[in-house]
Amino acid sequence: MRVLVTGATGFVGSHLVEALLARGDEVVGLIRNPAKAARVFTNQQPELVPGDLDDAAALRRAAEGADAVFHVAALTSARDRAEFFAVNVTGTRNVLDASREAAPGLHRVVFVSSIAAVGPSARGVPVDEHVVPRPVSDYGASKLAGEDAVHGSGLPWTVVRPPAVYGPRDVQLRRVFSFARWRVAPVFGDGRQELSLIHVDDLVSALLAALDRGRPDGTYFAAHPQVVTTREFVTTVGRAVDEVLHGRARDPRLVLRIPFGVARVALTLNGAAMHALGRSTVLSADKIRELLAEGWTCSAAALERDTGWRAEIAAGEGLRRTAAWYRDAGWL
C-alpha cells in the first residue's frame, strides 16, 4: 500500500511513519525540514517530499498514486485564530484537493482530529461520537472545521479524535517532566480535572486500525480507558522521573497548585507578549476555558467495537517509558 503521511517528522507523524514502514507499506512523507527528517528517521526513511500545506504542487506530488492518506499535520499553537484556521482548515482542504486530483484510487483519508474539536466532558461522563461538538478554544474550533472539510470532500474518510497524547519525542508535556526532576508537580486549580490519555504507540495502532478496519465515513475517539485527575497525572510523572533517574519511584515533594486566577493572568500576559513578538505559544488566553473544564475524557468504545482495537499502555507504564526516553535523549 502506498501511504501519504502529512506532518511526517512531527511527534505523532514520525511514529506513524515508522509503524507503516515496519509493516511493509510504501510511505511518502510530506515534510517542511529535510534536516529534521534526517535526524528523526535514522534507520529506514520514507520517500520525502519537501513542502507545506499551502504548496499545491508538493501536495499533488506527495499524493500521487496514494492508496491511503493520513493527514496528521496541524498547528497546536498559533498567534491568533486566523492562523489556526489557515493551517488546520485551509491546509486540510488543500490536502483533500490534492488527494482527489492525484490519487483517484484512494481507499481512505484518515484525519487526525482532537477531543478539543468536541469540547470538555462533565465529571464522570466521557464524551463519545454522539455528543454535539462545542469546542471552547480556537484550536478546537479549527479542528472541528477541519473535520467538516473532510466530511464534504467527496472522498472516503475516517476521523480519529485523540485526547492528550504523550510519549517519546513529545515536546508539549516535556515541561511537566522537567519540573519533576526537582520533585515538583505543578497543577492548575484543585487538581480534580479528569483526563483521558493515550500513549503515542497506542494512537498509532488506533490509526492503523481505523484505516484497515474502521467504518467508512466514521468518527472515533481513541483513548486508554483509564481516567486520571490532573493531580494524579503530575504525581505519576514525578514518580516515573524519579524511578528512571534515581531508581526509586517517590511522590513529588511539592504539588504546586496554581490558582485559576493566577493562571488566567499569566496565560493572558504570556499570550499577549508572544503575539507582540510575532510568535505562537500554547500558553495563551485561548487555553483558559480548557483549564477550567471539569474534564477532558472520552470513550473509545466505538473504535473497539468496529475494529477490535484497544489501548494497551496504562499511564504508569507509558509515562515511565517516556521519562526513560527523555533521559536517554538528554531531555532530562
C-alpha cell at 203: 494512537
Question: Which phi-psi region, left, alpha or beta, contains residue 120 (left: φ > 0; alpha: ψ -120 to 50)?
Answer: beta
- Return the closest-CA partner of residue 137 out of 207, 88, 171, 92: 88
| CB neighbourhood size of 246 (10 A) | 10
The burial class, CB within 10 Å (0-12 / 13-18 / 19+), for 23 is exposed
CA distance 165 to 202: 9
Give me the torsion for CA of 140, 142, 146, 151, rounded to 10°: 70
Which of 139, 166, 220, 326 is catalytic? The answer is 139
**Contact of 29 with 46, CB cutoff 8 Å:** yes
CA distance 282 to 30: 24
**Contact of 259 with 186, CB cutoff 8 Å:** no
DSSP class of residue 78?
A: B
Sheet strands side by side (includes 2-6): 47-50, 26-31, 2-6, 68-71, 108-112, 157-161, 218-221
Judging by DSSP bridges, how do beta strands 47-50 and 254-258 pair with one another? unpaired
CA distance 95 to 187: 38
Give the 3-state secondary structure percentages of the chain, helix then strand then coil, rounded to 5. 45, 20, 35
C-alpha cell at 309: 482495537
Identify any residues that bridge with 184 across adjacent strands, giving them in sequence order. 254
Q: Give yes or no: 220 in active site.
A: no
Query: Catalytic residue positions?
Result: 139
